[in-house]
Copies of this chain bind each other. A is one copy, B any other.
């Protein structure tokens, strides 16, 4: 069995690999920062993972998951996201605090318990943040979502996913009513002011910076 450290590295490589457009190399510096370790530590670890055929490693260039590494990463992600949803739906924890809890529990939950949780929740497809939950076979249905920073104006939209786990940011979104499932339209976008003006039903217009808007993913309503 892989240690929880190994699981965390694989998960992180997967997460870093996604926004880079699929199967690109993740630079070591980026990984080291994400894992909050010194670059040397990441190098050592990655060499070990390469030895175990979980990643391919090109020195001074970066790292990429192998098929085996990706399957393991997706399994960890499945545990993480099912646990998050379980904590919210069953134990009533707050949206904003479950990420850190799940960070620990994802390494302690057995397959047996995980499948019970999955069944109890009715085989859900997304977690409380809208992140897709991989299947037990390691498949993720690709979402084709746009962020509020890039999609068209005046179209009926629905929030599908929040691409950030910061408790403070999530709490702000909750206070503002910007949670997955909510309908809205973009009234205007001002590149100079670096801001987006939103309109939610029964609410006064709300202005968001581009950086924040980019973390809110939507689909046509």
Contacts and interface: CB of A to CB of B under 8 A. Distances in A.
A69 to B, nearest CB: 23
Interface string A121-158: 00000000000000000000000000000000000000
A108 B110 contact: no
A215 interface: no
A180 B130 CA distance: 43
Interface string A78-118: 00000000010011110001000100110111101100110
Interface residues of A, number: 18
A144 to B, nearest CB: 34
A59 B35 CA distance: 42
A169 interface: no
A120 interface: yes
* Most central of A107, A112, A120 by chain B CB within 10 Å: A112
A210 B105 CA distance: 40
A113 B92 CA distance: 10
A116 B101 contact: no
B113 A91 contact: yes
Contacts of A90: 90, 120
A92 B91 CA distance: 16
A101 B110 contact: yes
A121 B134 CA distance: 30
Interface of A: 87, 90-93, 97, 101, 104-105, 107-110, 112-113, 116-117, 120
Given A91-B116, A101-B110, 18 more contacts: A87-B113, A90-B120, A91-B113, A91-B120, A92-B116, A93-B112, A93-B113, A93-B116, A97-B112, A101-B112, A101-B113, A104-B108, A104-B109, A104-B110, A105-B108, A105-B113, A107-B108, A108-B108
